[in-house]
Amino acid sequence: MSLQDKVAIVTGGSRGIGRAIALALAGAGAKVAFCHNGDPAAAGTLAEINQLSTGMERTADVADEAAIAGLFDAVDAALGPVDILVNNAGILRESPLAQTDVAEFDRVIAVNLRGTFLASREFVRRTDAGRIINIASDLGILGRQDMAAYTASKGAIIALTRTLALELAPGILVNAIAPGSIETDMTSPAHMSPEQLARDMASPLARFGQPEDIAAMALFLAGPGAGFVTGQCFGVNGGSVMY
Ligand SMILES: NC(=O)c1ccc[n+]([C@@H]2O[C@H](COP(=O)([O-])OP(=O)(O)OC[C@H]3O[C@@H](n4cnc5c(N)ncnc54)[C@H](O)[C@@H]3O)[C@@H](O)[C@H]2O)c1
């Protein structure tokens, strides 16, 4: 139980990659709070966390400054001071540049990038020790047609990771994970075109990863084995990007 007595927040932890990370941290003994955007799956995920450890869930928009402060206040009161922050909440919108309106562009940046900034800032205002793990994307490195806002937000998260690693050392270690295509709601045919899904299969392993593949890396980065690791971006991507 390498994370016994630690307290973690996972943004966007109700389903998909965030859920798998929340369960992995709880399985290692951490108390785990997660927020979501009103997802009906949240109650089931909370029950799973509570079978392993102690959990809490809250609807909170990561793009909203007051909502993030309220989330940290509630977690402090219920579980104690936060040791581990996983900035996972994210949205993807697929549209050609010419058809992308300003509101759509701004919303993707607000959830993915401003959300990571707001939660990291709230964390840092309350502690000078711990771990921040940011969920970026291989597309933030590779680029991808018809995903301008998404890829820009994810590239910026990798840059932000490096800056925060410099600024918050030595007490807080900050790393990113850049997943390749992972089988979740975000990559379901309801949310991605067949052309994009075909591009996702172009990596050497030519298949989707599972949320647990990302959770394994997050668990390592949250734990004692990663004490000399900061400012890095880890590709868990089936070989789509090779560093
Ligand atoms: N699935 C992939 O192939 C893939 C690849 C690379 C990176 N990622 C990244 O991994 C993260 C998780 O993606 P996923 O595939 O599990 O997605 P998902 O759509 O299955 O889950 C998204 C989660 O974020 C929450 N969320 C969405 N908007 C929110 C908001 N404004 N405030 C708070 N919570 C919000 C949802 O409630 C949900 O819990 C995202 O940042 C995504 O960009 C995913």
Span 157-203, pLDDT tens digits: 999 999 999 999 999 999 999 999 999 999 998 888 999 999 999 89
Give me the number of domains the chain comprises.
Answer: 1
The finding on whether 238 has its CB within 6 A of some atom of ligand 1 is no
Q: Is residue 1 a part of any domain in this protein? A: no
The finding on whether 137 has its CB within 6 A of some atom of ligand 1 is yes
The pLDDT value recorded for residue 35 is 98
- For residue 55, pLDDT over 80 is answered with yes
| Nearest residue (CA) to ligand 1, atom 38 | 12
* CATH code of the domain in which 56 resides: 3.40.50.720
How many Å lie between the centroid of ligand 1 and the Cα of residue 189? 15
Residue percentage of the chain with pLDDT more than 90? 95
Mutation pick for ligand 1 pocket among 14, 36, 86, 122 (CB with most ligand atoms within 8 Å): 36
The pLDDT value recorded for residue 169 is 98
Residues identified as active-site: 150
Q: Is residue 166 a part of any domain in this protein? A: yes
Q: Is residue 243 a part of any domain in this protein? A: no
- For residue 108, pLDDT over 90 is answered with yes
> What whole-number distance in Å separates Cα of residue 181 and Cα of residue 185?
11
Mutation pick for ligand 1 pocket among 35, 37, 161 (CB with most ligand atoms within 8 Å): 37
The pLDDT value recorded for residue 94 is 94
Q: Is residue 161 a part of any domain in this protein? A: yes
The first and second tokens of residue 154, run together, are 């994810």
Alpha helices in 28-114 (DSSP H): 42-52, 65-79, 102-109
The finding on whether 134 has its CB within 6 A of some atom of ligand 1 is no
Q: Encode burial over 96-133: b for 16+ CB neighbours within 10 A, e otherwise.
A: eeeebeeeebebbbbbbbbbbbbbbebbbeeeeebbbb
Span 121-130, pLDDT tens digits: 999 999 999 9
pTM: 0.98
Q: Is residue 242 a part of any domain in this protein? A: no
Would you list the DSSP string of 116-129? HHHHHHHHHHH-SS
Q: Is residue 225 a part of any domain in this protein? A: yes
Amino acid at 50: N
Judged on CB neighbours under 10 Å (0-12, 13-18, 19+), 208 is middle
Report the half-sphere exposure of 3 (CA within 13 A, side-chain side). 29
Q: Is residue 118 a part of any domain in this protein? A: yes
The finding on whether 237 has its CB within 6 A of some atom of ligand 1 is no
The pLDDT value recorded for residue 243 is 84
CA of 154, closest atom in ligand 1: 43
Amino acid at 94: E
Domain of 48?
7-236
- The pLDDT mean for the chain works out to 97
The first and second tokens of residue 240, run together, are 């789509």
Q: Is residue 92 a part of any domain in this protein? A: yes
